C-alpha cells in the first residue's frame, strides 16, 4: 500500500510517499479500514519535527512509527474474530495512528459509524479536534447552561468545534480570533466575537467561568483577571509546556481558580455522541483546504503556519 512516510525528524520535505506493507488483523477486536480521508493535525507536524516531548514517545534519534495521522474515515474491509460492532462495507470514522496511508487496522473501540449527512472528508475532520473540545468543555470544565465561556483560537480545528459545542451546552460564548474570521465564527454560534489583533480580552474587565485556550498562546497567569472566582482555564497544548508545570502548581494557591491541561482520550462513546450532533445539524466541521496524499509536504507546510481556518484534510484514493 501507499503511505506518507518519514524516516528522520525535520522539515516537511522529510515526508515522502512510499510503498509499505499493508497492516493485517489478527483474531482480536481490530478492523481493517480502507482509508478514504484523513485530517492533518498540529500533532502530526510536532511529531515530524521531532519536538522533544514527542521524541520521548516516538524515538530519540529517529521515528519508531514512520507513518503519521490520527484521524481516519473510510470503509471496513475486514473484521477480527472478536470485533462485533462493524461489518465489511460499513462507513466508519474515528481515531487511528498511521492514517496517512491507504489502509489502517485500529481497534473497533476507537471508531464509530459515520454520520449519514457528511462526506468522508468531513468525517475525517471530526475525531481528534471535536473530541478534544467536547471533553475539555463537558468533562473538565463541566459547562452548564448560562455560564460564560471564552474560546481563544476560535477559528482553528479545536476552536471552531468548541464554539459550537459550548452553545449546545447552553453557554454564552465569546470567541477570540483574527479579523478575517470574525463573521464566520459569529455564524458558528458565538454570542460575542473579539479580534485579538485589536483587543486583549484580559484587559476588558469581563469575567468568564471557562477560558479554553485552543491554540496554546495564552497562560493561566495572563487569564487570571478574566476568570470568575471559581473559573477554570484549560489548554490542550501539552506539547508547549513552558509554563504548564508552574501553572498547575500555583493554581492551587489561587483560591478556587484552576488551570487544567487536557488531551483527548479517543473512545467510541464520544464519537457516537458527536455523530448524533452532526446528524441533528448541531455540529459541523469546516474544512479550509483539501490535499491529495501525494501533496503531504504541502499539507504540512500549510498546517505549520498556524493560521488554519477549521481543518486540513487529505484525500486518499
What is the full per-residue pLDDT of the chain (317 aa) written as tens digits?
A: 999 999 999 999 999 999 999 998 887 899 999 999 999 999 999 999 998 888 988 999 999 999 999 999 999 999 999 999 999 999 999 999 999 999 999 999 999 999 999 999 999 999 999 999 999 999 999 999 999 999 999 999 999 999 999 999 999 999 999 999 999 999 999 999 999 999 999 999 999 999 999 988 888 888 889 999 999 999 875 554 444 555 555 554 455 678 888 888 999 999 999 999 999 999 999 999 999 999 999 999 999 988 889 999 999 97
Beta strands in 23-108 (DSSP E): 31-40, 71-79, 91-95, 103-104
Which of 147, 259, 178 is CA-nearest to residue 213?
259
Q: Which CATH code is given to the segment(s) 2-126+285-315?
A: 3.90.180.10
Instruction: State how far the Cα of 16 lies from the Cα of 300, in Å rounded to an integer.
Output: 12
3-state secondary structure of 40: strand
Are the C-beta atoms of residues 124 and 154 closer than 8 Å to each other?
no
- Whether pTM exceeds 0.95: no
| Domain ranges across the chain | 2-126+285-315, 129-261
Give the CATH superfamily of 129-261. Answer: NAD(P)-binding Rossmann-like Domain (3.40.50.720)
Amino acid at each position: 500500500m501507499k503511505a506518507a512516510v518519514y524516516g528522520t525528524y525535520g522539515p516537511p520535505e522529510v515526508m515522502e510517499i512510499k510503498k509499505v506493507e499493508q497492516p493485517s488483523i489478527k483474531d482480536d477486536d481490530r478492523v481493517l479500514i480502507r482509508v478514504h480521508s484523513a485530517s492533518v493535525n498540529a500533532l502530526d507536524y510536532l511529531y515530524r519535527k521531532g519536538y522533544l516531548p514527542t521524541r520521548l514517545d516516538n524515538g530519540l534519534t529517529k521515528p519508531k512509527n514512520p507513518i503519521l495521522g490520527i484521524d481516519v474515515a473510510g470503509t471496513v474491509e475486514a473484521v477480527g474474530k472478536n470485533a462485533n460492532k462493524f461489518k465489511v462495507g460499513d462507513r466508519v470514522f474515528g481515531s487511528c495512528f498511521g492514517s496517512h496511508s491507504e489502509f489502517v487496522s485500529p481497534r473497533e473501540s476507537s471508531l464509530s459509524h459515520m454520520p449519514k449527512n457528511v462526506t468522508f472528508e468531513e468525517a475525517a475532520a471530526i475525531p481528534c479536534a471535536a473530541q478534544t473540545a467536547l471533553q475539555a468543555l463537558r468533562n473538565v470544565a463541566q459547562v452548564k447552561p448560562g455560564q460564560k465561556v471564552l474560546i481563544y483560537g476560535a477559528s482553528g480545528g479545536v476552536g471552531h468545534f468548541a464554539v459550537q459545542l459550548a452553545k449546545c451546552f447552553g453557554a454564552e460564548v465569546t470567541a477570540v480570533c483574527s479579523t478575517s474570521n470574525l463573521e464566520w465564527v459569529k455564524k458558528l454560534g458565538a454570542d460575542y466575537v473579539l479580534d485579538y489583533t485589536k483587543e486583549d480580552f484580559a484587559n476588558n474587565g469581563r469575567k468568564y467561568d471557562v477560558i479554553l485556550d485552543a491554540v496554546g498562546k495564552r497562560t493561566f497567569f495572563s487569564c487570571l483577571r478574566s476568570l470568575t472566582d471559581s473559573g477554570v482555564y484549560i489548554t490542550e497544548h501539552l506539547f508547549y509546556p513552558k509554563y504548564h508545570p508552574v501553572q498547575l502548581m500555583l493554581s492551587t494557591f489561587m483560591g478556587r481558580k484552576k488551570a487544567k491541561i487536557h488531551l483527548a482520550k479517543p473512545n467510541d462513546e464520544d464519537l457516537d455522541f458527536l455523530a448524533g450532533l452532526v446528524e441533528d445539524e448541531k455540529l459541523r466541521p469546516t474544512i479550509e483546504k483539501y490535499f491529495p496524499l501525494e501533496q503531504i509536504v504541502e499539507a504540512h507546510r500549510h498546517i505549520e503556519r498556524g493560521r488554519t481556518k477549521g481543518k486540513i484534510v487529505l484525500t486518499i484514493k
